[in-house]
Chains A and B, each alone.
Chain A
Amino acid sequence: MSSNPDLKSLNNICSQVRRDIVRMVHAVNSGHPGGSLGCTEYFVALFNHIMKYDSSFNIEGKGEDVFFLSNGHISPVFYSTLARAGFFDVKELSTFRKLDSRLQGHPATEEGLPGVRIASGSLGQGLSAAIGVALSKKLDGDDRNVFILMGDGEQQEGQVWEAAMFAAHNKVDNLIATIDYNGQQIDGPLEEVNSLGNLKAKYDAFGWDVLECDGNNLSELIETIEAARSKTGSGKPIMILMTTEMGKGVDFMEGTHKWHGVAPNDEQLADALSQLEETIGDY
């Protein structure tokens, strides 16, 4: 897919995905709504405008753009987006985190959920796996791209920097990584827990091509990802530092770490849903 995004249609999907997220975590009184809500535009843009893929899903992803979620705890937005993009029936969203479900608390391959290529949840491992697929695409002469999302708190994991160093040294330039830069982690703001310092300068120094954007502004986000796509093949891995607001779209969840891993109660759910229009039908 390419330019001229249908912003109205994409925004409608975003609103529905946000409804899905709060309903899913409410139903099982667990899960991570904050980061999921913040990354909604990114997932919706990627799966409904940016990436070329076959929703019948083959795990190898040959000839397709492939996506990896490294910060697996934002599984609600991942699952909702996959379902809304036709990977599986939206009704299955009601099984999230329940016994015998394919929608595990953190994404997994064991149950065979279409769209998931590797387990994630224990942080810091996704970038390495994405590099592996990117290298494989180069070996096979496959010119599609690999997309990978990480959390900002996740940047505290050492393996991320092992992978960052490798990707630059080996010119893994078919890789478009994105960091959800919401500034919050479970115990509080990153600035208080363990500051990342100048993250752009760090990735610059590691030899990456770094772009920045507002991840909750759909048109700016799409422009940035397309700009990133145009930079592929030029010898450097690409990083998008995507500023988002944790909890975006539900006023009482916005901008705080308190909704990182807490589900809304019945009253809070009603409040949240009143702020999110049902556009293409609840599951």
Chain B
Amino acid sequence: MKTKLTYTDKKDTRSGFGDGLLEAAKKNPQIVGLCADLTGSLKMNAFQKEFPDRFFQVGIAEANMMGIAAGLATAGKIPFTGTFANFSTSRVYDQLRQSIAYSEKNVKVCASHAGLTLGEDGATHQVLEDIGMTKMLPNFTVINPCDYHQTKAATMAIADHHGPVYLRFGRPGWPMFMQDQPFEIGKAITLIEGSDVSIFATGHMVWRAIEAEAILEDQGISAEVINIHTIKPLDEQAILQSVRKTGCAVSAEEHQMAGGLGESIAQTIVKNHLVPQEFVAVNDQFGESGKPEDLLDKYGLGVSDIVEKAKKAIRRKG
């Protein structure tokens, strides 16, 4: 009988960012914050109140915000930019590329409301390509934590990491199941050990993977659930160690299949140890308005989708 992961409360991951930023800023006076007219949504109010001189309200001008952040970093500050994930990436891709990535600036691009779980605002705001865009940029580290605790810990960890980081989190309340533990960039966390299939999940999909594992166990299937909070650099060692044991893989993410975590895992598997892999991801579509959980279910990111893909991966082992 495996140890079950449970939760008693739900909390939004963006609050983890806000709380982590405040705590990190209390320790390190070089940390500054920038926001593009979404201070409340990003939960940056406490930071703004505590450190008004170190907070820059840029207004609705995300390109300028990224450039100012690059300048602040040039002068030795550690800027944390805050806006929605869509406006943190696709809106400002050339600024990320030239002024931050290529220029090797120590900017932390902190992005809320990522993915379908943004909900009712609809597809204009539901960016599903941001992991792909940021992981393609040399020098960038890409992190997508799974719950409040992990987002808070990740926010504090990236302050101590020198280099550009894309930190992705979300809007809705979500199960808090991770322990309040230090965050190690690039180090995958095995949440549940198993022997038949490896489920690699990131962000909000980690909890769904845990739910899927319980269903699989009831059906006599032993699934391993691994929390891949860092997409780049990818913990290839943990991935290979798991698939060498289970012989097949499922990736689960709130992102387009193209360019996402699953694609990075596939590269690792193809290059090192070929096993069947199935993808739980959005398949070349835009989202729509709706409730977060309903949207995940409609676009192929349901718990039942993970269960079915796990069984399919096992069948393909032949």
Contacts and interface: CB of A to CB of B under 8 A. Distances in A.
A61 interface: yes
Interface in B68-89: 68-77, 79
B67 interface: yes
A122 B92 CA distance: 13
B77 A163 contact: no
Contact of A117 (B61, B74, B77, B95): B74
Interface string A9-40: 00000000000000000000000000000000
B104 interface: yes
Interface in A114-162: 117-122, 124-137, 139-140, 158-159, 162
Given A118-B103, A165-B59, A125 B95 contact: yes
Contacts of A127: 67
B56 interface: yes
A137 to B, nearest CB: 7
Contact of B73 (A132, A137, A139, A158): A132
Contact of A162 (B61, B73, B76): B61
Chain A CB within 10 Å — which of B58, B68, B73 has the most?
A: B68
B280 interface: no
Contacts, number: 115
Interface string B132-164: 000000000000000000000000000000000
Interface residues of B, number: 32
B70 to A, nearest CB: 5
A54 to B, nearest CB: 15
Interface string B207-233: 000000000000000000000000000
Contacts of B98: 119-122, 125
A122 B94 contact: yes
B71 to A, nearest CB: 2
B102 interface: yes
B77 A129 contact: no
Interface in B41-78: 53-54, 56, 58-59, 61, 63-77
A199 interface: no
Given A109-B104, A128-B99, A136 B67 contact: no
Nearest to A108: B102
A193 interface: no
Contact of A159 (B67, B71, B79, B102): B67
A166 interface: yes
A120 B72 CA distance: 16
Contacts of A159: 61, 63-64, 67, 95
B108 interface: no
A110 interface: yes
A146 to B, nearest CB: 8
B105 interface: yes
Given A118-B70, A128-B63, A166-B59, A60 B99 contact: no
Given A162-B63, A165-B59, A128 B71 contact: yes
Chain A CB within 10 Å — which of B61, B66, B74, B104 has the most?
A: B74
A97 to B, nearest CB: 17
Contacts of B94: 122, 125
A128 B75 contact: no
28 contacts: A61-B74, A109-B104, A110-B102, A118-B71, A118-B103, A122-B94, A125-B95, A125-B99, A128-B63, A128-B65, A128-B67, A128-B71, A128-B95, A128-B99, A129-B71, A129-B99, A130-B71, A132-B73, A132-B74, A132-B79, A135-B56, A136-B75, A137-B75, A159-B67, A163-B67, A163-B68, A166-B61, A166-B68
Interface of A: 59-62, 108-110, 117-122, 124-137, 139-140, 158-159, 162-163, 165-166, 169-170
Interface of B: 32, 53-54, 56, 58-59, 61, 63-77, 79, 94-95, 97-99, 102-105
Q: Which 6 A-B pairs have the closest CB atoms?
A: A132-B71, A128-B67, A136-B75, A162-B64, A162-B61, A129-B71
